[in-house]
């Protein structure tokens, strides 16, 4: 299939409009001039890495020594957001530059990036890039449509670490002829639940600490269970808690999206009925859990450090732009949960966004930016770096152009779509959240527009003053809420509705349910 | 190393490693020169060779085998581990 957007990329290349430096002599002379001079691009997505847990984003713990060093010589976007709070929908936005609900039917169970979507690697391959994707399986597998446009798309260990995907990428890079620039997508689940890690990473921030919790014989072993973190509500671990399921249109029984807002009450009710055990964790165990999450950030950082070191050894670093970001964060008890899909807050959608590498112009190095940025900006940015343009239909704007001083309209807000139906509008100061309807509902925009602002479906946080978004100020500032709601309605009403869907195979359903999905 | 090295001597003693590492990690497997310390090169081999994830909880036997294979490959050559 030929995408209309690709014609635009090719047209710009034919004119040789964009310049990203001088032509590397080894490049294929048949490439368009702009691409001959374009750098390699490595996009790293650290699955589940919450922005404020990186040391260079304010975590007092030394979680990111390698990324800190890159940040010191790179560009950090301090207010960067993912478009969703779950991997599949968030990656869809990253790779298409479109809102998750535009790419496919926004249904958690059937979500798939369709063939007609145009992804970053497709656009880059069309202009001459070699493209390789190296992912830790899970919800970013080829079967969800993410392999489109990649020359190679390899799965490492399912739900695995950069420890398994880094070497796959390096092996591919070592075999390239370097006649063309390359694009690498590197992905790892290091920061994902369970946060318990092996090897050297179990207790870097709580050395020798072994929390004791009445009723739990071995906290670490229990913690390593897949269901552990999603069975903690308001500081109580509900051992044996069963998530509610509802019948999906496909006939499958899937996690009931309506049950999520009241999960703490459901868990308590199950415990009261003797269906599960309620085990209060206590302050030390809670502290320990967060320390484990931070350890997982250190794990990711360690392997990314080794990866960058190898790029340097291979002589690739000086001609490469590295982009490090995440697809979502993790609520670490900030709102009573230890997961990311229950709500849209900064905890679950504020992500790191770091540009580094030898291809970064010297004048930009060591800078920190405070304007809003989000996942939709990655497609235009990457195509700009590649000396091309983003295709028609990709939203967002080029951060590269912004860094270069071009007059780019600032982003007044970032619209985010939760996998369980939440919509949120994040401005520099506030966050408005709307929940209680499924995004796939054809009348969603009408509900968003007409639902009384004080019905309980909306919440407003003054994030600039309340960074952890603990206090709903909607009743104190209803006009602010109304204003943001209007902006959300205007945007959502103009979105195309994605319709693509797939029924996962029985094997996929089994594998994903083993990991706590669906 | 800087994060894990409690006394700042640039190496991890058995005690330091024991405080931060998973209990199933066998220090002596990675202390290749037997000096009861993990130096930077030994630490690097460890990181190359052992997946940080608790494999039995994430991928089971297949992942364990992959981890073992990586470790064996890493042990074969200290300077250029096959996997990295």
pLDDT tens-digit readout, A364-384: 999 999 999 999 999 999 999
Q: What is the pLDDT of residue A491?
A: 95
Q: What is the pLDDT of residue A20?
A: 42
Size of interface A-B (CB pairs under 8 A): 106
- With contact defined as beta carbons under 8 Å apart, do A100 and A338 qualify? no
SS3 A402: helix
Angle (nearest 5°) at CA A189 between A186 and A191: 120
Q: Which of B3, B48, B53 sits opposite A160 (nearest CB)?
A: B53
A7-28+39-196+287-412 and A415-493 have identical folds: no
Domain boundaries, chain A: 7-28+39-196+287-412, 415-493
Q: What is the pLDDT of residue A409?
A: 81
Q: Residue window 397-426, chain A: list those with CB within 8 Å of chain B.
A: none
Q: What tokens were used for A162?
A: 């950069």
Whether B84 sits inside 8 A of A306 (CB atoms) is: yes
CB atoms within 10 A of CB A373: 24
Residue A98: closest CA among A116, A80, A73, A76: A116
Whether omega before A202 lies within 30 degrees of 0, making that bond cis, reads no
> How distant is the Cα of A62 from the closest Cα of chain B, in angstroms?
7
Euclidean distance between CA atoms A240 and A231, whole angstroms:
8
The residue among B38, B52, B61 with the most chain A CBs within 10 A of its CB, best to mutate, is B52
The residue that leads in pLDDT, A421 or A123, is A123
* Contacting residues for A271 by C-beta, under 8 A, at least 6 apart: A238, A241, A277, A278
Task: Using an 8 Å CB-CB cutoff, list chain B residues near A202.
Answer: 20-23
Whether B51 sits inside 8 A of A62 (CB atoms) is: no
**Can you give the pTM of this predicted structure?**
0.92
Q: Which of A166, A194, A208 sits opposite B57 (nearest CB)?
A: A194
Angle between helices B60-76 and A162-175 (to 10 degrees): 50
pLDDT band of B55, cuts 50, 70, 90: low
User: What is the complex's ipTM, to 2 decimals?
Assistant: 0.79
Q: What is the pLDDT of residue B63?
A: 41
pLDDT band of A460, cuts 50, 70, 90: very high
Q: Is B80 on the interface with A (CB under 8 A)?
A: no
Q: Which residue has the tokens 């809102």?
A: A99
Q: Residues A325-340: pLDDT tens digits?
A: 999 999 999 999 999 9
A101's enclosing H/E stretch is helix A100-103
Q: What tokens were used for A389?
A: 């343009």
Task: Using an 8 Å CB-CB cutoff, list chain B residues near A173.
Answer: none
Q: Percentage helix, strand, coil, to 5, in chain A?
A: 35, 20, 45
Burial class (CB in 10 A: 0-12, 13-18, 19+), A111: buried
Instruction: Write the DSSP symbol of residue A275.
Output: S
Q: What is the pLDDT of residue A351?
A: 98
Q: Is A221 on the interface with B (CB under 8 A)?
A: no
The residue among A191, A200, A311 with the most chain B CBs within 10 A of its CB, best to mutate, is A200
CATH of A7-28+39-196+287-412, one of 3.40.720.10, 3.30.470.10, 3.40.50.720, 3.40.50.970: 3.40.720.10
SS3 A86: coil
Does residue B66 surpass a pLDDT of 80? no
Q: What is the pLDDT of residue A7?
A: 52
DSSP lists the bridge partners of residue A432 as A425, A460
Q: Which of A160, A166, A207 sits opposite B58 (nearest CB)?
A: A160
Question: Read out DSSP for B34-61?
Answer: -SSEE-HHHHHHHHHHS-SB-GGGTTHH
Euclidean distance between CA atoms A462 and A115, whole angstroms:
40
Q: Which CATH architecture has domain A415-493?
A: 2-Layer Sandwich (3.30)
The residue among A198, A219, A223, A310 with the most chain B CBs within 10 A of its CB, best to mutate, is A198
Does residue A280 surpass a pLDDT of 80? yes
């Amino acid at each position: 299939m030929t995408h209309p957007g690709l014609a635009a990329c090719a047209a710009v290349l034919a004119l040789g409009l964009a310049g990203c430096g001088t032509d590397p002599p080894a490049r294929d002379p048949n490439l368009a001039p702009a691409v001959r001079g374009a750098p390699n691009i490595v996009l790293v997505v650290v699955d589940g890495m919450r922005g404020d847990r990186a040391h260079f984003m304010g975590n007092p713990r030394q979680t990111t020594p390698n990324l800190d060093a890159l940040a010191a010589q790179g560009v950090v976007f301090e207010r960067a957001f993912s478009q969703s709070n779950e991997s599949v929908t968030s990656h869809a936005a990253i790779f298409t530059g479109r809102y998750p609900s535009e790419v496919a039917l926004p249904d958690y169970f059937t979500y798939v990036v369709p063939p007609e979507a145009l992804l970053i690697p497709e656009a880059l391959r069309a202009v001459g890039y070699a493209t390789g994707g190296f992912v830790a399986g899970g919800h970013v597998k080829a079967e969800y449509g993410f392999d489109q446009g990649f020359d190679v798309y390899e799965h490492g260990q399912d739900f695995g670490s950069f420890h398994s995907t880094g070497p796959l990428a390096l092996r591919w890079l070592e075999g390239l002829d370097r006649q063309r620039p390359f694009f690498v997508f590197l992905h790892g689940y290091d920061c994902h639940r369970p946060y318990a890690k092996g090897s050297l990473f179990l207790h870097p921030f709580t050395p020798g600490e072994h929390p004791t919790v009445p009723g739990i014989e071995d906290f670490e072993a229990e913690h390593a269970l897949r269901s552990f973190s999603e069975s903690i509500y308001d500081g109580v671990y509900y051992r044996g808690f069963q998530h509610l399921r509802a019948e999906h249109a496909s006939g499958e029984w899937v996690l009931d999206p309506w049950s999520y807002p009241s999960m703490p009450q459901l868990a308590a009710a199950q415990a009261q009925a003797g269906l599960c055990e309620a085990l209060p964790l206590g302050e030390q165990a809670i502290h320990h859990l967060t320390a484990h999450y931070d350890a997982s950030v250190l794990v990711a950082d360690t392997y990314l450090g080794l990866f960058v070191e190898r790029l340097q050894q291979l002589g690739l670093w000086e001609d490469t732009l590295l982009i490090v970001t995440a697809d979502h964060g993790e609520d670490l008890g900030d709102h009573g949960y230890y997961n990311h899909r229950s709500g849209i807050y900064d905890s679950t959608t504020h992500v790191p966004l770091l540009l580094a590498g030898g291809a970064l112009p010297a004048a930009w190095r060591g800078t920190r930016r405070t304007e809003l940025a989000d996942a939709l900006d990655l497609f235009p940015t990457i195509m700009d770096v590649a000396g091309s343009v983003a295709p028609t239909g990709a939203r967002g704007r080029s951060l590269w152009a912004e860094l270069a001083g071009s007059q780019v309209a600032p982003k007044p807000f970032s619209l985010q779509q939760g996998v369980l139906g939440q919509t949120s509008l994040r401005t520099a100061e506030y966050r408005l959240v709307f929940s209680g309807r499924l995004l796939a509902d054809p009348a969603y925009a009408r509900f968003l527009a007409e639902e009384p602002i004080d019905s309980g479906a909306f919440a407003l946080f003054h994030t600039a003053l309340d960074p952890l978004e603990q206090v709903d100020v909607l009743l104190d500032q209803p006009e602010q809420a109304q204003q943001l709601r209007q902006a959300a309605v205007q945007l959502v009403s103009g979105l195309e509705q994605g319709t693509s869907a797939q029924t996962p195979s029985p094997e996929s359903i089994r594998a994903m349910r083993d990991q706590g999905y669906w | 190393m800087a994060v894990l090295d409690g006394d700042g001597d640039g190496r991890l003693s058995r005690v330091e490693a024991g405080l931060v590492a998973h209990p199933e990690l066998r220090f002596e497997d990675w202390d290749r020169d037997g000096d009861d310390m993990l130096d930077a090169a030994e630490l690097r081999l460890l990181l190359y060779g052992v997946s940080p994830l608790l494999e039995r909880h994430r991928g089971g036997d297949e992942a364990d085998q992959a981890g073992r294979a990586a470790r064996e490959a890493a042990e074969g050559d200290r300077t250029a581990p096959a996997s990295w």
